[in-house]
Structure 1
């Protein structure tokens, strides 16, 4: 498994895929309405990545599986310092549909952990949507622990 820095064409693909995916998740979570989701997701990505692949402190990767000679997903994390040290926050992690359920997500997180350790980070954090049980299971299996929980009751 390899994490390859995105080139512009990968970033363009990532952006169009991830904006739509994020919008769908926000609608599924009940945070945004369907009418506004694409516009809000686009705004969010533009604010977080104002200089695209050249945005400072943002690490954007294509996930490559050499045995397949194929790009199988994307990974994006943000680097920052906080009160607990040097932190990486995963903003987006996706394994493309045809490659899911085959252990590639686990291998990608293992590869990321090795990469982040060489960069002397103290921790990795992320947000996961409550409805995404597959992701929750993967992150728990990989040693992530719950730090906050938001809950909603619909009336």
Structure 2
């Protein structure tokens, strides 16, 4: 489900939110969420997440889930301030001495 985040006054798109409701897990996974750079820090991200939660509040879905990049401090700060909590950690390691074509 692709949702457009719009500016209150001008009906201008300021971002988008792409989510996947999963009935089996009773969760809604936010797979991509972006507020365009000129509109960041103005409350659009928070408002979009509040609206998404309201959209699913009276349904069988129990939680919202997402992943955030470790270096995306602004997004992590937003999510934590809204009650999102870490549930795991992704790790990686480059392959040493591997030949690249």
TM-score of the superposed pair, with normalisation by structure 2:
0.83
1:58-99 alpha-carbon deviations (Å, 9 max, x no partner): x111111232321110111011134xx411000011001110
Instruction: Provide the C-alpha distance between the structure 1 equivalents of 2:10 and 2:57, rounded to a whole number of angstroms.
Output: 26
Matched, 1:72 2:29: no
Cα shift readout 1:17-59 (whole Å, capped 9, x = no counterpart): xxxxxxxxxxxxxxxxxxxxxxxxxxxxxxxxxxxxxxxxxx1
- The yes-or-no answer on 1:100 pairing with 2:36 is no
Q: What runs of 5+ residues in structure 1 fail to find an aligned partner? A: 1-58
Q: Deviation at 1:117?
A: 1.1
Question: Larger Rg: 1 or 2?
Answer: 2
Secondary structure at 2:65 match in 1: strand
1:119 & 1:86 partners in 2: Cα distance?
Answer: 9
Of the three residues 60, 75, 86, the one matched with 2:2 is 60
Q: Distance in 2 between matches of 1:147 and 1:132?
A: 17
- Can you list the C-alpha shifts for 1:84-136, whole angstroms capped at 9, x where unaligned? x4110000110011100111111111111101213331111011110111111
2:59 corresponds to which residue? 119
Q: Is residue 5–residue 44 contact of structure 2 (8 Å, CA) maintained in 1?
A: no
Query: Equivalent residues in 2 for 1:30-45 (5 A)?
Result: none
* TM superposition outliers: structure 1 runs of 4+ over 4 Å: 152-155
The runs of 5 or more residues in structure 2 that have no matched partner are 97-101
RMSD of aligned alpha carbons: 1.8
Matched, 1:89 2:29: yes
State the aligned residue count: 95
Higher helix share: 1
